[in-house]
């Protein structure tokens, strides 16, 4: 495969883009609605169910009239024992109620995930672990090591006996652990879980999870409980993932795994039975807390059994939490249920809301004798105790408030009022809901804050939370001054400097946004008063408060950083203001006056890069607007005008510091020049872009973080190639001079050692060269003759393309050869399949040598067991479908030459 000579594009597939487009269109089918009507009630017909035997096969159907012996235990429990419930839930036919349209919609969306605007739990765990610490000694229950003899005996125990073994005789307690020792032990248990699972000791893995879950019922060191919850639920998450992936792996049929949005009907009996077995084991756990947590951890596995399984389990698990007596333990159980609920069924908001409202109904337990006595024993004050609830309540409310309408906030506010405007809940509500909703009700929240009982949760924290919302969204204009006065009346009375500055810093931003220098000076004066004990700055600077405010930062290095932050904010404000200003200025149809304005603005904002970028885009837009007005037929005057626009951009782009901004603007401006028939100017832009590529650094700053630049360069070059298809050759520069120049730059560019981007670029070049060999290109620029018109399929032109393609293919094959070492075989497999797909799409596989190359690449992709079986199967299915199309019969023979190799 590495040495066989190929001339790829001499055998490029001839394309008829019009007919291909027709083939790809969706087929329209007439619908016969018959008796169907969208408002007609849905009728559900009862059907007989099937029973699964232990081997996963299907037994004969059972009759509803058949009799069975009465189970004395079931008769006592009235059929509500956990195993019966799970068995019933596993049968979607007998349990599924009639579904209306909304219910169907929810089922369809069951696999939908939350968006990137939802702050994940992973971003919160570090803060919780850092905040909730202890110096007291901790204890932990630890299971004894499993010997070979006990492993043999486990095989003959019943499921219930196995779990009882954990609860009764196989554990010991480790006492007097420091916090770090405790965390180390939890990490050891997490690793033990993974080791047990990998060694196929599933029962032992379950025991470890149960053992860890039990720790969540222990509140002897109560101030550490939030951190304990984080550590233990990490183990639960690991267990849930292992179980789900194990069952999913059992669903692979003929090397085809289930799609992401699979239905229970596509799950085989063996996988379903294994899944049921896990739920039966968990239902046998006798203690409530571990039974709840372990079942919640594998909640997602209900997808294998029933479409409605998750939606039915969530309310039941919510009700189970009512049996947990300790309110702190209960609220964290609710938080965990919300976590898994948002992951597997974020659309089931009803269960999340019910979960929180259950908590509100039991909130009075916090002030009951049991909790108060516990706090006395542990010497914990009520303010500290209440802060332990914050992570759980904040998370629950974040889940509830995600994409919720503002009417839900109104309901939450009413419930807070009924609970006496509890400060803890009110603070969580303001932290969870959208800032726009909070800002619109600012005066209502201030009224509730004023009526709060300050014992346990100080009001200034509530004003801080309100201020954080008002920094993101503006309140009603008529309320702004009153809001500031009400907030500052509380803030200015704070004696503790740390409390004061934490709250004041939020409201300083609010004051700067909405008021004049006078109010800002007043606020800064108050900050100086509180933060400088001798009030020296008031006497020294009676008129101006900003400088004495800066003088409080005595350490030189700190003061420099503060000044940098101030200047960055000021410059950012100038940039935003300048960009907004440019977007608002219009001279109507007087395009020349508009361009003159942009030229003047460039001299005024020469040091503000975002403004310069906006100017370039505005001038390009001006050129395209001129083209639109002239309908593409430029007069001598308008042709000169668009050339002036192009010259403005060409002169301005080099002054920008961001290299990718320059590259993209060169490309964009070149496209604008080409669209306006400014061919020589377009060439100048594209040449500038080509010459800039070698200057791209290995690392670039993205959102303040240094990232490798390869991915950004790859994206740019792919866009560049798409443009070069329609760029005509310069009469004095030779055939494909821009493509050749770009390829030379790519060849000389220093790529990362473990990067395959260079080869991916070369493969994309083959796409371009293949498109260039067609008699008519797939797209054109209006009133610009591309190379298909200039050369008209000239043999010399095609010969040049063939020589270029031979060089590119040679480079690709040489790179594949270098990936023959063990550590790079996976990359070799991926690239071989990538190149195979290129030949499949663009090559004429009736040619024997090209056909053989594709077979070699297919075999190379699978040779070392790194191929994605699912992808290979789909690719082969595509080839077989294509073979049924006209002029594609040769694909039938090709499919026979492409074996699917097993990984073993």
Residue written as token pair 């004050």:
381
So what's the pLDDT on residue 572?
A: 67
Strands (E), 588-672: none
Q: Output the pLDDT for position 785.
A: 92
3-state secondary structure of 433: coil
Per-residue confidence (pLDDT) for residue 554, from 0 to 100: 74
Contact 663, 715 (CB under 8 A): no
Euclidean distance between CA atoms 524 and 545, whole angstroms: 6
Place of tokens 């965990």: 336
User: Is the model's pLDDT at 69 over the cut of 80?
Assistant: no
Radius of gyration of the chain (CA): 35
- Judge whether residue 101 has pLDDT over 60: no
- Encoded tokens for 504: 């004041």
Whose structure tokens read 């509180």? 530
pLDDT score, position 27: 62
Res 753 pLDDT > 80: no
* H/E run at residue 597: helix 591-604
Lowest mean pLDDT among 79-88, 145-154, 353-362, 851-860: 145-154
What pLDDT, on a 0 to 100 scale, did the predictor assign at position 60? 36
Residue 362 banded pLDDT, cuts 50, 70, 90 = confident
Q: pTM for this one?
A: 0.50
| Predicted local confidence at residue 8, as pLDDT | 52
Task: Choose between 223 and 90: higher pLDDT.
Answer: 223
pLDDT in tens, 303-329: 888 888 888 888 889 889 989 988 999
Residue 543, pLDDT > 50, answer no
C-alpha–C-alpha distance, residues 181 and 184, integer Å: 5
Long-range contacts of 110-119 (CB under 8 A, 24+ apart): 110/303, 110/307, 110/310, 110/311, 110/344, 110/345, 110/347, 111/260, 111/261, 111/303, 112/346, 112/347, 113/343, 113/346, 114/342, 114/346, 114/402, 118/342, 118/398, 118/402, 119/398
Residues 611 and 631 sit within 8 Å (Cβ to Cβ)? no
The residues with which 702 forms a beta bridge, in sequence order, are 705
Give the single-character DSSP code of 113: -
- pLDDT tens digits along 118-150: 888 888 888 898 888 888 877 776 544 333 334
Residue 42 CB: number of other CB atoms within 10 A? 10
CB 483 within 8 A of CB 446: yes
pLDDT at 92: 38
Contacts 24+ apart (CB under 8 A), 658-663: 658/609, 659/692, 659/695, 659/696, 659/697, 659/700, 660/696, 660/700, 660/709, 660/712, 660/716, 661/609, 661/613, 662/692, 663/689, 663/692, 663/693, 663/696, 663/716
Give the residue from 376, 388, 393 showing the smallest Cα distance to 431.
Answer: 393
What whole-number distance in Å separates Cα of residue 14 and Cα of residue 37?
Answer: 49
> What's residue 256's pLDDT?
67
User: What average pLDDT does the structure give for the chain?
Assistant: 80
- pLDDT band for position 34 (cuts 50, 70, 90): low
Half-sphere exposure of residue 878, counting CA atoms within 13 Å on the CB side? 9
Residues 811-845 have pLDDT tens digits of 999 999 988 888 889 999 999 999 999 999 898 88
What pLDDT was estimated at residue 48? 40
Do the strands 171-177 and 699-702 form a parallel or antiparallel pair, or are they unpaired? unpaired
Helix (H), strand (E) at residue 175 = strand 171-177
User: Which pLDDT does position 67 carry in this prediction?
Assistant: 35
Tell me, letter by letter, the H, E, C secondary structure of 474-514.
CCCHHHHHHHHHHHHHHHCCCCCHHHHHHHHHHHHHHHHHH
DSSP E strands, 600-758: 699-702, 705-708
Tell whether the model's pLDDT for residue 548 goes beyond 70: no
- How is the chain split among helix, strand and coil, in percent rounded to 5? 65, 5, 30
Residues 178 and 138: their CA atoms lie apart, in Å, by: 6
Crossing angle of helices 679-692/659-675, nearest 10°?
A: 160
* The predicted structure's pLDDT at residue 640: 95
Reported as half-sphere exposure (CB side, CA atoms, 13 A), residue 283 has a value of: 16
Distance CA(327)–CA(374), nearest Å, equals: 12
pLDDT at 90: 44
Q: 177: which strand partners?
A: 138
Q: Is the pLDDT of residue 356 over 70?
A: yes
What size, in residues, is the chain?
Answer: 904
Q: In this model, does residue 462 exceed pLDDT 80? A: yes
How much is the average pLDDT of 286-310?
90
Q: If pLDDT is split at 50, 70 and 90, which confidence band does 293 have?
A: very high
Contact assessment for residue 265 and residue 54, using Cβ atoms and an 8 Å cutoff: no
**pLDDT value for 675:** 95
Q: Which range scores top for mean pLDDT: 429-433, 647-651, 702-706, 816-820?
A: 647-651
Structure tokens at 833: 């399949």
Distances (CA, A) of 762 to 3, 398, 728: 18, 47, 21
CB-CB contact of 453 with 423 (8 Å): yes
Which of 297-301, 307-311, 714-718 is the least confident region?
A: 307-311
Residue 405 confidence (pLDDT) above 70: yes
6 versus 902: the higher-pLDDT residue is 902
Separation CA 861–CA 776 (nearest Å): 34
% of the chain beyond a pLDDT of 70:
80
Model confidence pLDDT, tens digit, residues 566-619 = 666 666 668 676 677 777 788 888 999 999 999 998 888 887 888 899 999 999
Is residue 370 within 8 Å of 337, Cβ to Cβ?
Answer: no
């Amino acid at each position: 495969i590495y040495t066989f000579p190929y001339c790829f594009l001499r055998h490029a597939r001839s394309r008829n883009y019009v007919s291909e487009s027709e083939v790809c269109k969706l087929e329209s089918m007439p619908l016969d609605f018959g008796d169907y009507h969208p408002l007609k009630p849905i009728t559900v017909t009862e059907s007989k169910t099937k029973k699964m035997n232990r081997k996963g096969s299907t037994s004969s159907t059972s009759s509803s009239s058949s009799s069975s012996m009465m189970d004395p235990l079931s008769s006592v429990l009235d059929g509500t024992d956990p195993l019966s419930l799970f068995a019933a839930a596993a049968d979607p036919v007998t349990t599924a109620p009639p579904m209306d349209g909304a219910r169907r919609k929810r089922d369809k969306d069951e696999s939908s995930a939350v968006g990137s605007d939802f702050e994940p739990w992973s971003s919160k765990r570090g803060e919780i672990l850092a905040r909730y610490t202890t110096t007291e000694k901790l204890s932990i229950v630890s299971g004894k090591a499993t010997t070979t003899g006990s492993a043999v005996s486990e095989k003959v125990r019943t499921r219930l006996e196995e779990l009882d073994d954990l609860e009764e005789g196989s554990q010991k307690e480790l006492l007097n652990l420091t916090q770090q020792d405790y965390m180390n032990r939890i990490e050891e248990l997490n690793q033990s879980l993974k080791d047990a699972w990998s060694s196929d000791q599933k029962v032992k893995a379950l025991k470890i999870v149960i053992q860890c879950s039990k720790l969540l019922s222990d509140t002897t060191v109560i101030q550490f409980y939030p951190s304990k919850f984080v550590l233990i639920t990490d183990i639960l998450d690991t267990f849930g993932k292992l179980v789900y992936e194990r069952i999913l792996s059992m669903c692979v049929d003929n090397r085809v795994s289930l799609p992401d949005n699979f239905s229970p009907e596509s799950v085989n009996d063996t996988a379903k039975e294994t899944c049921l077995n896990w739920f039966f084991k968990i239902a046998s756990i006798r203690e409530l807390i571990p039974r709840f947590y372990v079942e919640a951890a594998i909640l997602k596995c209900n997808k294998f059994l029933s479409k409605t399984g998750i939606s039915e389990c969530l309310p039941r698990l919510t009700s189970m939490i009512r049996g947990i007596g300790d309110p702190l333990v209960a609220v964290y159980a609710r938080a965990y249920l919300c976590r898994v609920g948002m992951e597997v069924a974020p659309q089931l908001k009803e269960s999340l809301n019910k979960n929180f409202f259950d908590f509100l109904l039991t909130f009075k337990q916090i002030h009951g004798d049991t909790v108060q006595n516990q706090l006395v024993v542990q010497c914990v004050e009520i303010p500290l105790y209440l802060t332990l609830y914050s992570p759980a309540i904040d998370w629950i409310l974040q889940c509830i408030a995600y994409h919720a309408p503002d009417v839900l906030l109104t309901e939450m506010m009413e419930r807070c009022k009924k609970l006496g405007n509890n400060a803890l809940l009110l603070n969580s509500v303001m932290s969870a809901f959208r800032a726009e909703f909070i800002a619109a009700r600012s005066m209502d929240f201030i009224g509730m804050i004023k009526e709060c009982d300050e014992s346990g949760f100080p009001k200034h924290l509530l004003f801080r939370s309100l201020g954080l919302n008002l920094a993101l969204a503006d309140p009603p204009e008529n309320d702004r001054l009153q809001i500031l006065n009400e907030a500052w009346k509380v803030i200015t009375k704070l004696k503790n400097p740390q409390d004061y500055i934490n709250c004041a810093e939020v409201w300083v931003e609010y004051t700067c946004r909405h008021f004049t220098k006078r109010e800002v000076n007043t606020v800064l004066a108050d900050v100086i008063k509180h933060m400088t004990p001798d009030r020296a700055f008031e006497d020294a600077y009676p008129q101006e408060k900003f400088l004495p405010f800066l003088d409080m930062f005595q350490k030189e290095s700190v003061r420099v950083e503060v000044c940098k932050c101030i200047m960055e904010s000021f410059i950012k404000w100038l940039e935003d203001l300048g960009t907004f200003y440019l977007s608002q200025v219009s001279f109507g149809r007087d395009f020349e006056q508009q361009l003159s304005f942009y030229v003047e603005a460039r001299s005024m904002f020469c040091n503000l890069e975002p403004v310069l970028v906006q100017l370039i885009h505005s001038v390009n837009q001006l050129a395209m607007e001129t083209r639109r007005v002239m309908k593409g037929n430029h007069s001598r005057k308008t042709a000169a005008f668009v050339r002036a626009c192009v010259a403005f951009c060409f002169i301005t782009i080099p002054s920008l510091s961001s290299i990718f901004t320059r590259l993209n603007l060169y490309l964009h401006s070149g496209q604008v020049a080409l669209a306006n028939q400014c061919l020589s100017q377009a060439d100048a832009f594209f040449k500038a872009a080509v010459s800039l590529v070698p200057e791209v650094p290995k690392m670039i700053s993205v959102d303040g973080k240094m990232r490798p630049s390869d991915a950004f360069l790859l994206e740019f070059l792919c866009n560049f190639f798409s443009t070069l298809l329609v760029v005509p050759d310069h009469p004095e520069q030779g055939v494909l001079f821009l493509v050749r120049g770009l390829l030379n730059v790519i060849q000389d560019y220093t790529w990362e050692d473990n990067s395959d981007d260079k080869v991916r670029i070369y493969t994309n070049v083959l796409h371009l060269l293949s498109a260039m060999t067609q008699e008519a290109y797939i797209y054109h620029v209006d009133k610009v003759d591309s190379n298909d018109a200039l050369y008209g399929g000239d043999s010399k032109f095609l010969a040049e393309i063939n020589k270029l393609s031979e060089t590119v293919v040679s480079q690709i094959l040489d790179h594949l050869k270098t990936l023959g070492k063990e550590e790079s075989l996976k990359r070799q497999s991926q690239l071989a399949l990538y190149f195979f797909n290129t030949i499949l799409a663009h090559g004429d596989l009736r040619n024997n040598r090209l056909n053989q190359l594709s077979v070699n690449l297919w075999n190379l992709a699978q040779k070392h067991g790194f191929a994605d079986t699912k992808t290979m199967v789909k690719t082969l299915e595509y080839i077989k479908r294509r073979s049924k199309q006209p002029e594609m019969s040769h694909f039938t023979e090709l499919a026979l030459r492409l074996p699917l190799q097993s990984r073993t």
